[in-house]
């Protein structure tokens, strides 16, 4: 009920703001005003519907639930690649995603580490992989689910690692890919510096806890801390050339024991 009340309040405030803004504009015909109001209301209704759906399943557990249940309980050499849009769009954006290998993609676009932590048991542990490759953190820095301190992000990495290890799953933690500017959140200051600092922590944590550190960043970063030219769609997400760099690095990390 609190969620519904919050949504209604949000819609009311948004509608009031829209209406007030419209009142400051010169009046045209009654028909056009009605049409504008109807369009605004339709837009608000769509936003409320999307927000309610997100709050009902904040971590998007429904995304892979059926696919997880359809998998055989165990498979030799199974690896789960776990992450956000960079993992989710691996094939769509030009990657090959290890044809012929028993590797499973469990990326969800836009996700942050707290969302991934929520679905860790369903989308990783219950699949009984030998190894999980975790690539996450860039959306935390972008603020996709609100502001995150470095400690918050680190704690989520720790928790995911501990859950995996407690269930006999080998952990590979990948570096966050380089970013100079987030196109959807250009107000984020110094993402390149924040990513470099997070990667240094991930590398150190791996050394301390016996995990494998998968260093994508060094092979993909330009001198300014952004993506090298020609390997990205938008400065954040790899294209085919970017994934062609990542795939052998991932295989090399998996080959380490």
pLDDT tens-digit series, residues 200-228: 999 999 999 999 999 999 999 999 999 99
pLDDT tens-digit series, residues 105-155: 999 999 999 999 999 999 999 999 999 999 999 999 999 999 999 999 999
The answer on pLDDT for 72 being more than 50 is yes
pLDDT tens-digit series, residues 18-70: 444 444 444 556 777 777 777 777 766 665 555 555 667 799 999 999 999 99
Three-class SS of residue 129? Answer: coil
pTM: 0.80
CATH code, domain with 116: 3.40.50.1110
Domains held by the chain: number = 2
Which DSSP string do the residues of 85-112 spell out, in sequence order?
HHHHTTTTTT----TTS-EEEEE-TT--
Measured between alpha carbons, how far is residue 246 from residues 103, 205, 214, 223, 237 in Å?
Answer: 15, 21, 9, 19, 12
Q: Are residues 136 and 194 in the same domain?
A: yes
pLDDT recorded at residue 35: 75
Q: Are residues 51 and 79 in the same domain?
A: no
Q: Are residues 70 and 38 in the same domain?
A: no
Q: Are residues 98 and 37 in the same domain?
A: no
Find the domain containing 7 and state its range: 2-56
Q: Are residues 102 and 169 in the same domain?
A: yes
Q: Are residues 125 and 42 in the same domain?
A: no
- The torsion angle over the Cα atoms of residues 135, 136, 138 and 139, rounded to 10 degrees, is 140
Q: Are residues 198 and 222 in the same domain?
A: yes
Q: Are residues 167 and 50 in the same domain?
A: no
Alpha helix segments (H runs only) across the chain: 2-23, 30-56, 65-70, 85-88, 113-118, 120-123, 138-142, 150-166, 191-209, 217-220, 240-255
Q: How far apart are CA 30 and CA 236, in angstroms?
A: 46
């Amino acid at each position: 009920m609190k969620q519904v009340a919050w949504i209604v309040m949000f819609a009311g405030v948004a509608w009031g703001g829209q209406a007030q803004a419209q009142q400051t504009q010169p009046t045209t015909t009654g028909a056009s005003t009605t049409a504008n109001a109807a369009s605004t209301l339709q837009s608000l209704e769509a936003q409320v519907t999307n927000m309610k759906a997100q709050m009902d399943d904040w971590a998007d557990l429904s995304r892979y639930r059926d696919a997880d249940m359809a998998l055989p309980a165990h498979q030799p050499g199974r690896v789960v690649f776990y992450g956000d849009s960079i993992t989710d769009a691996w094939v769509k954006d030009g990657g090959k995603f290890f044809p012929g290998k028993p590797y499973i993609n469990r990326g969800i676009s836009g996700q942050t580490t707290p969302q991934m932590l929520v679905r860790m048991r369903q989308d990783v542990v219950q699949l009984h992989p030998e190894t999980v490759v975790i690539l996450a953190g860039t959306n935390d820095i972008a603020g996709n689910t609100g502001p995150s301190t470095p400690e918050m992000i680190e704690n989520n990495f720790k928790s995911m690692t501990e859950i995996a290890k407690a269930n006999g799953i080998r952990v590979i933690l990948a570096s966050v890919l380089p970013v100079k500017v987030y196109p959807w959140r250009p107000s984020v200051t110094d993402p390149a510096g924040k990513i470099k600092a997070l990667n240094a922590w991930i590398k150190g944590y791996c050394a301390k806890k016996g995990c494998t550190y998968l260093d994508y960043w060094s092979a993909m970063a330009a001198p300014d801390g952004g993506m090298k030219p020609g390997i990205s769609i938008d400065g954040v997400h790899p294209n085919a050339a970017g994934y062609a760099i990542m795939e052998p690095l991932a295989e090399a990390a998996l080959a380490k024991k």
